[in-house]
Structure 1
């Protein structure tokens, strides 16, 4: 009898110990990283793309858009796994070419994921920090025993992301510097939300145009890049119809001509000697 009581007390203490661990350690923090040969802008474009939200978890068979915002922050998606369970993914924050924050939730747990991009000699280091929290006492109790499997899953996701980034088309997002045929220094900054800033410095002075709109057609050969939204100067009310080459790492070749918004015949068919070569500076 005494032995049975001691055995029951021992089991009870073990159960209480496990529960107390779960109560005290309510989250699992994991930090991993992967290095890719592509630029920060390309890595950002791939990982922040709405089409790639499903790659943030393993075993996703269906992705549905619940709420979509033009700048993507606040957009929500439903992700369905192989076993039928559903997660909701919310884009919490985006910082061009620098940072992506995502929240994944279901009735059992929530996963806060922060991705930061850093330049490295090999290209870009992608830093991934995840915080997994159990939503109920039962799942919080399991947290201490799940760290290894969560880490293995994240490492597989990292390798998948690396393949996606390495095989992606180069991104425009970022800052580009070049000198045109007249000797003027030019700086383009393309933003994630489809806007661009253009700064030109020459012997005659300096001017800057902000909040231009850019549209890129990656299916045409060569690719097309048009700029609109000119409010002042000789390009006011016009569209800059251009062609662009991004086939070389961190290099952009752009040739364009202005025309009326409904007349794309102004667009160059091939790159001329006056085409400007830009180098990515961020």
Structure 2
């Protein structure tokens, strides 16, 4: 006969778990400083760029200064064009990432767990991965028209492969002895996939997600060439007729900032989902 442990043995366990030790706070501050140090080189390059333009080493016809680029972005913001373009691009990128990333995740888990799945479609995906992205744009226009569908599907196509490859690698690197032990204890294949394999493969999956979100932003430029009237990709291409290099550079700079912001969000989510992985990285630093 078993007896429940007295409650006094584990006093206020939840409260204790929520408290941070001085060492943990110091580690978080150190990591925050390391993240801030990543901005030193980009800010230094901006300062050099501005100095070269201010002292006449670079002609405005060749390259506008950062001050002029920021002025163009402020102009677009006040007119409402920039916000409208960001919203349109965010919707397309999010929809494409969810479709492509979700499909890549499922295909990666299935192919990683079962040889049948790998034999069925891995070769086809490897062939499609090598097809130039811009080459399929005319086909997508013929097949899906010129509305939102080809734009979203182009982004989805670009997002499938990073998630698939990293998920497949993460699943295959799970220790097979753990899976054998789970099978001996009578766990179903679905339970093994969701409760054992997926958590152990999560670090590799997060790498694929991080890369796929960056690819989604990059593919916007190509996707928004398809009869687009809004979006940051369209905004980067449209001003060429009027030679507004400040707007073009502003959109390029905006892409860079968005990429950094997306990467920061993924890194933050990864540190929340994988606290043990974060501790390993802290020791490495």
Bigger CA radius of gyration: 1
Interval containing the TM-score (normalised by the shorter chain)? under 0.3
* Higher RCO structure, 1 or 2 (CA under 8 Å, sep 6+): 2
Give the TM-score, by structure 2 length.
Answer: 0.21
More strand per residue: 1 or 2?
Answer: 1
